[in-house]
Amino acid sequence: MIIYMTTKKYIRSLMLLGSFLLLSLASVSASASTTKCTIPPRSTLQTPAGIRFDPSLPIGTELWRGTLQSGTDTDAMCSGGNGMVTFKGTGVKRADQSYDTGIPGIGYRVHFLTAGCQAPAFWPVECGGIFAARVGAATIEVVLFKTGEIPPEGGSLSGDFLEWTYEGYRLISYAWTGSLAITPKAPTCAPAQPLYNIDLGRIPRSTFTGIGSVSRSQPLTIELQCTGDSRTSVTVRGTLTDSTNPANRSTSLTLASNSIASGIAIQILKGGVALGYGADSRTNGNPNQWLAGTTQAGIFRIPLEARAVQTGATVGAGSFNGRATYTMSYE
């Protein structure tokens, strides 16, 4: 007597990506000795709603990249001749041509991707000469990457992060729009194996003495392989679905059509309580959904049991089997 268990997994995608949108940017020429400038408002950059990542990745791993376009909007008005423009980040400069974001363990690099000062060298860079009244079009790329241990609570980016200075004047600055949340991914899980067979063995017909009487339970352990931040946890919920009768919402698994025995069904238990069957859905609150537990990264084991239960007035001898699937949701 065998129960076949097939698996189905759902993993919520938490990664949100996007690209930066430049709202305003420009500069003009000035002389080193007599430079006078009228500075435009700070430029703001449209950012993703949030970034999630696996903090267990090696140092140096890229976490996100996005681009913005320069030379598209308001001018900084200056008077003078030629001079030197410096392009740099506003965070604490690191030895590897990058800057600290202010979130421990996360840095950023910036460079002109196409045309632009010393493209494609990472900032800070400098270029001298006489500059036109409007900055030429160029693509700027921003890369976030791991520089060390990242706290489990992550952090958020806000305020200025880039600037252009001209002979001591801050011509242009770039800021994150609002607050960009950067948080670790909670663990996500996948079945460690796709199929479970449970043999209930030979059961004497005398075991069944009336409706509701049951056989001895046999152990069943579902194993999930979970990955992600080992310092955070995820709540796992499960739903069993009757493969023979998906509309079944009882606690008795329908016997497969090739079964010979009659008057019995199969129950799957957690903590000694028979689990009901529900729709094949990861939706929270799905009928007969049950709490599997909370887990961190690693192997998560869900101990269950299976047994036969008498459902009819009489029990007919013979082999029997049933098939169920399970659906897990994570939050």
CATH number of the domain located at residue range(s) 36-184 in this protein:
2.60.40.3310
How far, in Å, CA of 147 to CA of 61, rounded? 8
Q: Could you tell me which residues come within 8 angstroms of residue 232 by beta carbon, excluding any fewer than 6 positions away?
A: 152, 184, 186, 187, 296
Beta partners for residue 328, in sequence order: 9, 238
At 147 the pLDDT is 93
Task: Specify whether the CB–CB gap between 71 and 137 falls below 8 A.
Answer: yes
At 244 the pLDDT is 94
At 323 the pLDDT is 94
**Separation in Å, CA 260 to CA 189, 216, 318, 320:** 37, 20, 5, 6
Q: 36-184 and 188-330 share one CATH topology?
A: yes
How far, in Å, CA of 22 to CA of 110, rounded? 15
Query: Class of the 188-330 domain?
Result: mainly beta
Burial readout 129-153 (b: 16 or more C-beta within 10 A, e: otherwise): eebeebbeebbbbbbbbbbeebeee
At 133 the pLDDT is 46
Give 272's Cβ-side CA count (13 Å radius).
Answer: 0
Give the mean pLDDT of the chain: 79
pLDDT tens over the chain, length 331 residues? 333 333 333 322 222 222 222 222 333 333 334 555 555 556 665 667 778 777 778 999 998 888 876 655 555 555 556 778 888 999 999 999 999 999 999 999 999 887 778 888 999 998 876 554 455 567 888 999 999 988 878 888 888 898 888 777 777 788 877 677 887 777 788 888 888 888 999 999 999 999 999 999 999 999 999 887 777 788 999 999 999 999 999 999 999 999 999 999 999 999 999 999 999 988 888 999 999 999 888 899 999 999 999 999 999 999 999 999 999 888 8
Burial readout 161-190 (b: 16 or more C-beta within 10 A, e: otherwise): bbbbbbbebbbbbbbbeeebbbbbbbbbbe
**Domain boundaries of the chain, sorted by first residue:** 36-184, 188-330
How far, in Å, CA of 138 to CA of 120, rounded? 11
At 44 the pLDDT is 60
At 168 the pLDDT is 72
Q: How many residues in total does the chain contain?
A: 331
Task: Specify whether the CB–CB gap between 246 and 240 falls below 8 A.
Answer: no
As a whole number of Å, the CA-based R_g of the chain is 31
Instruction: Note the pTM of the prediction, 2 decimals.
Output: 0.56
